[in-house]
Amino acid sequence: MIETTSPHHNNFKGVMFMLLHTLSASMLFALVKLLSKDISSNQIVFFYKFILLLIALPWVFKNGLKIFYTTRLKTYIISGIFGTSATLCLMYGIKYIPLANVTALGYMEKILLVIIGV
């Protein structure tokens, strides 16, 4: 059997997604730092989550509402509450912490989630 995609191609895509994530996270933190001088953290979180909803809408329109079907509705609601609370804490923290420290703390989040998950 002939393999059509090489592992190197998948690695390249993974590296590109990591670079895109790093760039977008840095831009998000800098933008939040600038916006937090004029508007509250609650408003920033609202607009951030609203923009994420707008980004996800084409996928929903393409696949229909069946992608939301689940037998674990409570789990998704709890996950949404925790995710929104974490975003609110992050945006509030960005307002008062130097930007270099915020970036380091943002990447530390993944490590802490693994430790808590274990």
pLDDT digits 0-9 by tens, 46-88: 888 898 889 888 888 888 777 777 788 888 889 889 888 888 8
pLDDT of residue 23: 86
- The mean predicted confidence, pLDDT, of the chain is 81
pLDDT of residue 9: 65
Phi-psi region of 64 (alpha: psi -120 to 50; beta: other; left: phi over 0): left
Q: What percent of the chain has pLDDT over 90?
A: 2
pTM of the model: 0.64
